[in-house]
Amino acid sequence: MSVLIYVESNKGGFKKTAFEAVTYGRKTADALGVPCVALVLGAAENAGSLGSYGASRVLQVQDAGLENFDSQVYANVIAQAAESVGAQVVVLSQTANGKALLGRLAVRLDAGSVSGAIALPDTKGGFRVRKSVFSGKAFAEYELGTEKKVISLAGNSIPVEQLGSPVAVEALSVDVPAPKVRLVEIKRIEGDIPLPEAELVVSGGRGMKGPENWGILEDLGKALGATLACSRPVADSDWRPHHEHVGQTGGVIRPNLYIAVGISGAIQHLAGVNNSKVIVVINKDPEAPFFKAADYGVVGDLFEVVPRLTEAVKKFKAS
Amino acid sequence: MKLLVCISKAPDTTAKISFSADNKEFNSAGVQYILNPYDEWYSLVRALELVEAQGGTVTVVNVGPAENDTLIRKALAIGANDAVRIDAQPLSAMFVAKQIAAYAKEQNFDAIFCGKETIDYNGAEVGPMLAEYLDLPFLSFANHLEFDGGKAKVSRDIGDGTEVVEVEMPFVLSAAKDLAEQRIPNMMGIMKAKQKPLQVVAPVDFQDKVKVTTYELPPAKTAVKLIDPENMDELVRLLHEEAKVI
């Protein structure tokens, strides 16, 4: 018996969400009293470092068929690894590719699954996992009665912890089927931390009045080290790219800090962001509904308040 | 070209979410239901555009009770050729995927479309589960799709960018924003929809593997702390010392 974590590698390295998944897997394994095994597919440097986050073994499969992501191939290989280590729980990261794998693995392993867990499982008298539902408007606790379970972990839900030390990487030999999906090209957004992983987010709405005014938000984002986001009308008007849209029909995020600038706070927008740990709202309209969901509010002209906040952040960082 | 579009029912985006007194069930009283936006706006519309340009049919499938027929008729009004309703109350993603797979297995669809996720349970699980049951490739979060002969070229959202891939038919795809533009059904479409075939089929046996035991609403926010707009140093201090987020 064991807990298996599929650790996503990205351009040969690991992101914070990968370390979160290992920590989550280790704590789940400890609660069940079984070993915690990490699985890496394809090329990755320093896979043994996953031991530091709690993996007691690290397995790696290297094969030309794993060079690019194909959910059918990856699910097949992860399922083989799960069987070889007798995994009763498989943990994934709730990333774009993790979402494509979760359902496939659940069917393959005949397992109960929860997509986007936000807390460690409750293993007292059963196995229950908490997740956010109704696009952030509520939470639900899922009971998994199956022998095998597959869980994906929502980003920024648990802190990464040092729970061990580096281990030797073991090569795992499995049959890798031929991929059916052929990669033509990848276009990555350079620079910013992707929104689902971001701890700090600065977001603009219609109150920004036009795309030409975004410089003040970019300055604030840069000063804080925050990722930029926007409301739906902003993305729909093509003021900002669609991947920045957060809300019920855009990205649902859970950063530590969400600064909403010139966003009124319609229910559909709140659904995507109200799991943020701290919300700051800057709006000139004191009646804006967003203030009801905010921890800190600034009633004022954003074109004056935002540059002032940027200066204050710079001063704080320099001190 | 024969396409299948999976459609589901979800509470309206403005619906106030509440639960029974024991927090064990969703309270549907007064809730307006809609077609899940990702299914209707992007998945269904792109399937229709492809069939309009290259010929073929679009079938929509829903797993749900008879009261869903109104929403299914809306999909027919938008332009789908026919509909299938698998007559069961779905309680889990795997149940839905199993039912659709059992139906689709015999039908030789060239491609099966789902929405990225439903806006109620946000699992994004039905598409990949369906693909696994049918042993087909799965392309998640498509924001652009073209058919060329027996092949499809798909651009998909990978979180920190997009990737463009090619795949032979048949396959399963999930639709993200940008795949198409929402269509509002017109009078002619609504009239025609009444005559279009809506077949009701019996579900296959399936035991749910997961169950929601309790729901919970987020804790009520304490009153907002208002900061003097002239004093942003104070806001930074509070974010650092009190909220401890910077």
Which of B41, B221, B245 to mutate: most A Cβ within 10 Å?
A: B245
- Give me the pLDDT at residue A226, please: 96
Of the candidates B131, B159, B209, which has its C-beta nearest A104's C-beta? B131
Q: How high is the pLDDT of residue B63?
A: 98
Residue B182 pLDDT grade (very low, low, confident, very high; cuts 50, 70, 90): very high
Mean pLDDT, all residues of chain B:
96
B200 band by pLDDT with thresholds 50, 70 and 90: very high
For residue B127, pLDDT beyond 90:
yes
Alpha-carbon gap: A313 to the closest alpha carbon of chain B (Å)? 6
pLDDT of residue B48: 98
pLDDT of residue A242: 86
CB within 8 Å: A189 and B161: yes
What is the share, in percent, of chain A residues with pLDDT greater than 90?
Answer: 90
Q: Which of B216, B227, B236 is opposite residue A139, by nearest beta carbon?
A: B216
Note the pLDDT tens digit of each residue in A34-53: 999 999 999 998 999 999 99
**pLDDT tens column, A239-256:** 999 889 999 888 889 999
How high is the pLDDT of residue A215? 97
Percentage with pLDDT > 70 across chain A: 100
In a domain, B58, yes or no: yes
Domain A195-318 in the same topology as domain A2-171? yes
Report which DSSP code applies to B101. H
Number of structural domains (chain B) is 1
pLDDT of A252: 87
Residue B224 lies in a domain: no
Task: Name the residue type at position B209.
Answer: K
Report the pLDDT value the prediction gives residue B72, as an integer from 0 to 100: 98
Q: Does domain A195-318 have CATH number 1.10.579.10?
A: no
Interface test with A, best of B18, B157, B237, B246 (most A CBs within 10 A): B246
Asked if the Cβ–Cβ distance from B124 to A316 is below 8 Å, we say no
B125/A309 Cβ within 8 A: no
Instruction: Answer whether residue B229 is part of any domain.
Output: no
Q: Residue B34: which CATH number?
A: 3.40.50.620
DSSP A245: B
Assigned architecture for domain A2-171: 3-Layer(aba) Sandwich (3.40)
Q: Confirm if A260 and A273 have CB atoms less than 8 A apart.
A: yes
With a cut of 90, say whether residue A20 has pLDDT above it.
yes
Res B2: pLDDT = 98
pLDDT in tens, A275-318: 899 999 999 999 999 999 999 999 999 999 999 999 999 999 99
For residue B219, name the pLDDT band (cuts at 50, 70, 90). confident
What are B78-103's pLDDT values in tens digits?
A: 999 999 999 999 999 999 999 999 99
Minimal CA separation from B198 to chain A, in Å: 28
Is B227 a residue whose pLDDT tops 80? yes
Q: Coil, strand, or helix at residue A23? A: helix
The verdict on a CB contact (< 8 Å) between B38 and A70 is: no
- B84 within a domain of the structure (yes/no): yes
| Order of strands across the sheet that contains B171-175 | A182-188, B161-168, B151-157, B138-148, B171-175, B111-115, B2-6, B57-63, B82-86, B198-201
Which structural domain range is residue B25 located in?
2-213
Tell me if B218 is assigned to some domain.
Answer: no
Mean pLDDT computed over A98-123: 98
Q: Is residue B29 part of a domain?
A: yes
* Residue B154, pLDDT score: 98
Contact A113 B217 (CB under 8 A): no
**Chain-chain contact of B124 with A257 (C-beta, under 8 angstroms):** no
- Measured CA to CA, the distance from residue B76 to residue B190 in angstroms comes to 8
User: Cβ A185–B164 below 8 Å, yes or no?
Assistant: yes
Spatial CB neighbours of A134, under 8 Å, sequence gap ≥ 6 = A271, B11, B17, B119, B120, B121, B122
Q: Is the pLDDT of residue A178 over 90?
A: yes
Domain assignment present for B71: yes
To the nearest whole angstrom, how far is the Cα of B77 from the nearest Cα of chain A?
23
List, for residues A146-173, the tens digit of each pLDDT value. 999 999 999 999 999 999 999 999 999 9
Candidates A128, A147, A280, A311: best to mutate against B (most CBs of B within 10 A) is: A280
pLDDT for residue B138: 98
* Chain A residues within an 8 Å CB radius of B179: none
Question: Is B225 among the domain residues?
Answer: no
Average pLDDT over residues A226-239: 96
Cβ-based contacts of B139 with chain A (< 8 Å): 181
Of residues A30 and B160, which shows the higher confidence score?
A30
Q: What is the pLDDT of residue B85?
A: 98
Query: B200 Cβ partners below 8 Å, 6+ apart?
Result: B66, B84, B85, B87
What residues 184-243 of chain A have any CB closer than 8 A to a CB of chain B?
Answer: 184-189, 194, 196, 199-200, 224, 242-243
Q: Which of residues 55-74 of A touch B (CB under 8 A)?
A: 68-72
Judge whether residue A67 has pLDDT over 80.
yes
pLDDT computed for residue A11 by the predictor? 83
pLDDT at A10: 85
The DSSP secondary-structure symbol of A170 reads: E
**What is the number of CB-based contacts under 8 A between chain A and chain B?**
271
**The predicted structure's pLDDT at residue A162:** 95
Per the prediction, chain A carries an average pLDDT of 95
Which of B75, B14, B37 has the alpha carbon at shortest distance from B181? B37
Closest chain A residue to B166 measured between Cα atoms?
A: A182
Per domain, the residue ranges of chain A are 2-171, 195-318
User: Judging by DSSP bridges, how do beta strands A149-153 and A112-117 pair with one another?
Assistant: parallel
Residue A182 has pLDDT above 90, yes or no: yes
Q: The complex's ipTM?
A: 0.95
Q: 3-class secondary structure for A190-217?
A: CCCCCHHHCCEEEEECHHHCCHHHCHHH
Q: Indicate which of A89, A104, A131 best probes the interface with B, i.e. most B CBs within 10 Å of its own CB.
A: A104
Contacts of A110 in chain B (CB under 8 A): 209
Sign of CA dihedral B89, B92, B93, B96: negative
Rounded CA gap, B73 and B96, in Å? 20
